Amino acid sequence: MGDNIRIGIMGWGNLGKGTKEAIEKTPDMQLVSVFTRRDPQQVGSNFPQVNFLPANKAEEYVDSIDVMILCGGSATDLPEQTPYYSKLFNTVDSYDTHAKIPEHFKSVDKAAQENGKTAAISIGWDPGLFSLNRMIAEAILPEGNEYTFWGKGVSQGHSDAVRRVDGVKNGLQYTIPKEEVMERVRKGEDPSLSAKERHLRECYIVAEEGADKKQIEEEIKNMPHYFDEYETKVFFITEEELAQNHAGIPHGGFVIRSGKTGPEASTNQIMEFGLKLDSNPEFTASALVAYARAVHRLNKEGQTGAKTIFDIPPVYLSTRTPFNMRKEML
Amino acid sequence: MGDNIRIGIMGWGNLGKGTKEAIEKTPDMQLVSVFTRRDPQQVGSNFPQVNFLPANKAEEYVDSIDVMILCGGSATDLPEQTPYYSKLFNTVDSYDTHAKIPEHFKSVDKAAQENGKTAAISIGWDPGLFSLNRMIAEAILPEGNEYTFWGKGVSQGHSDAVRRVDGVKNGLQYTIPKEEVMERVRKGEDPSLSAKERHLRECYIVAEEGADKKQIEEEIKNMPHYFDEYETKVFFITEEELAQNHAGIPHGGFVIRSGKTGPEASTNQIMEFGLKLDSNPEFTASALVAYARAVHRLNKEGQTGAKTIFDIPPVYLSTRTPFNMRKEML
């Protein structure tokens, strides 16, 4: 297995764990080590076959890791970590703060270029595969409208918000695309609707004993920015129901391009890409691992610097040879 | 407009006409000439603003056309035309005889390489975008099953077959994916079903006066290879109904990857790409035009030879700058 791509994982949350699983499903990669800022012994106690090391030991592995997959969060970890580790390793991250991507790209590109490394940023599904589909669909059908629907899925920020309401013991929030709006889009009706009009929000709340449920519901529904402009439903459930029916981290959504072609632009052409994920972090991790393969190959070819999902030739993602791919998959 | 990409169209069927329309929807391309094997004057009489020329004049345009879009058929035109014109021009074709793609690639690659040209083959949706989605989905979710459903759409081969039946004056055939099978796939059930079990066939038939409709229906339903193993429905309609309700060339379909992730491969992850096209040739033409842009750019960078949809970095398809794309679309 000497030719395997040697992978490091930086960060051991849900994304890091999913990355370990995804690596094990490939025939051409091996996990060299997981790096964590917590106590490696404690963190790794349930995974005796994995080599856990403190994050500050990563520098010692520059010659034995081909790609470092960065599994930290976008708020504070990745803006620091990706530029730093892209000086030492080829990297992949899932940086998802859309508004700050150009800034992140710039700092990562500089670090990677100066050190002959290749870094794929903002890999996952949005940003990621959704972006890719939006872009390709627009390029093919320049006349038209694009719609992104998110969900059904758990929104972390909105779940945090409902848990801060007085009298709420626990709870979470699902973002749900409105099926009737999606059907109108799929028919080529091109409705002009904001994100607020395309989605509804469902909250599953465990109330504290004796709490005023009507009051909780009112407070959630009127919460500025988070809920007040949305159609919001609030359901009260028990702690047991929450644990039993809402333990997963599902997500997904749809990117639909409603394009027009022909002499009068009168022909409807609908392109749709959708994901239904029972585990958001496990899927994102699987994308990171496929793009780690691409990053390794690009770097071997001398293509250095920061790359996004737009830049990377799809052929680099697969374990198939180009010949086999043309024969079997085209 | 001196920097526009200068396009030639070879062949003036539905695909050639769609290509002209698609070029007109771009801000960065201009149609230099349409080449046809028929009488240019007659063929072009309804399009006074387009320059029609005989096919054998194409050689004179090597310096004034950046990309020649080849709009001939896969059976006899493209196996000859693509290698031939790839010696003279950068080209794009929609070669769709899946079994012979490796052979076609080889002959086109040789012609293009030897002459410093770039040629994108088998562009469209299947082969094309469907292939791309199959490949990316497999790379991200290596453990899983892939399902391609075609339709609802008109199948040319099957329509020809029903029209050859005794007593049939006119008619056509739609291939239709079975909705209940798609739902099972979307739920992650991974049914093991052949193409015959995933699709049904609907025939709309105009019978000749006095023809035995029962006999026609029997003959169609029992036609070997074409219909006998499929669930087939036969509807008799009038010539007027055929003209009114079945004049379009719709098609489309779905590529679904049902993948598994996680420690026990117990997490369902569904990726789906779908097209609902009111005009199959206009959509395919729109894809050819976007890939013509990519071919032009690749050639300018010195990336010559035959390319498939797998090889081409998506960024080359769009009129947006890479910076704008990262800012607005990622």
Find the closest chain B residue to A139 by CA distance.
B318
Q: Which of A293, A12, A79, A143 is nearest to B142 (CA)?
A: A293
- Give the whole-angstrom CA distance, residue B318 versus residue B330: 13
Instruction: Note whether A275 contacts B273, CB cutoff 8 Å.
Output: no
Q: What is the ipTM of this complex?
A: 0.94
DSSP letters for B136-195: HHHHH--SEEEEEEE-SEE-HHHHHHHHTSTTEEEEEEEEEE-HHHHHHHHTT------H
Around Cβ B277, how many Cβ atoms within 10 Å? 26
Tokens 């929000």 belong to: A201
Instruction: Note whether A276 contacts B261, CB cutoff 8 Å.
Output: no
Task: State the pLDDT at residue B248.
Answer: 86
Residue A46 Ramachandran class (φ > 0 left, ψ -120 to 50 alpha, else beta):
alpha
Q: Sheet of B153-154: strands edge to edge?
A: B153-154, B168-177, B199-207, B231-236
Task: State the pLDDT at residue B5.
Answer: 98
Across the interface, which of B26, B188, B282 has its CB nearest the CB of A262?
Answer: B282
Task: State the pLDDT at residue A2.
Answer: 53
Residues of A in contact with B139 (CB under 8 A): 290, 293, 314, 317-319
Instruction: Note whether B142 contacts A329, CB cutoff 8 Å.
Output: no
> Is the bond preceding residue B152 a cis peptide, omega within 30 degrees?
yes
Instruction: Give the total residue count for chain A.
Output: 330
Asked if B152 and B204 touch (Cβ cutoff 8 Å), the reply is no
Q: Which of B270, B122, B76, B81 is nearest to B183 (CA)?
A: B270
Indicate the SS3 state at residue B307. strand
- Give the whole-angstrom CA distance, residue B140 versus residue A284: 9
Instruction: Note whether A25 contacts B138, CB cutoff 8 Å.
Output: no
Task: State the pLDDT at residue B194.
Answer: 87
φ, ψ dihedrals at A282, nearest 5°: -65, -35
What residues of chain B score a pLDDT lower than 50? 1
Residues of B in contact with A18 (CB under 8 A): 261-262
Instruction: Note whether A269 contacts B276, CB cutoff 8 Å.
Output: yes
In chain B the first and final C-alpha atoms are separated, in Å, by: 29
- How far, in Å, are A125, A143, B45, B226, B279 from residue B155 at the CA level? 34, 27, 30, 11, 13
From the centroid of its chain, how far is CA B227?
23
- Give the whole-angstrom CA distance, residue A129 versus residue A122: 10
Task: State the pLDDT at residue A1.
Answer: 43
Amino acid at B259: G
Bridge partners for B259 per DSSP = B144, B269
Residues of B in contact with A22 (CB under 8 A): 261
Instruction: Note whether B315 contacts A311, CB cutoff 8 Å.
Output: yes
Find the closest chain A residue to B279 by CA distance.
A267
Report the predicted TM-score, pTM, of the whole model to 2 decimal places.
0.94
The rounded average pLDDT for each run of 10 residues, N- to C-terminus, in chain A (330 residues) is 86 96 97 97 92 97 98 94 98 95 98 98 97 98 96 90 95 94 93 90 96 96 92 96 92 96 93 96 97 98 98 98 96
Asked if A10 and A35 touch (Cβ cutoff 8 Å), the reply is yes
Across the interface, which of B143, B282, B318 has its CB nearest the CB of A139?
Answer: B318
Residues of B in contact with A293 (CB under 8 A): 139
Instruction: Note whether B273 contacts A273, CB cutoff 8 Å.
Output: yes
Instruction: Give the total residue count for chain B.
Output: 330
Q: Helix B129-140 to helix A280-300 angle, to the nearest 10 degrees? A: 100
> CA of A262, closest CA in chain B: separation in Å?
6
Helix (H) or strand (E) holding A201: strand A199-207
Task: State the pLDDT at residue B2.
Answer: 53
Instruction: Note whether B308 contacts A287, CB cutoff 8 Å.
Output: no
Asked if B152 and B252 touch (Cβ cutoff 8 Å), the reply is yes
Q: List, in sequence order, every beta strand (DSSP E) within chain B.
A: 5-10, 29-36, 52-54, 67-70, 90-92, 118-120, 144-150, 153-154, 168-177, 199-207, 231-236, 251-261, 267-277, 305-307
Residues of A in contact with B293 (CB under 8 A): 139
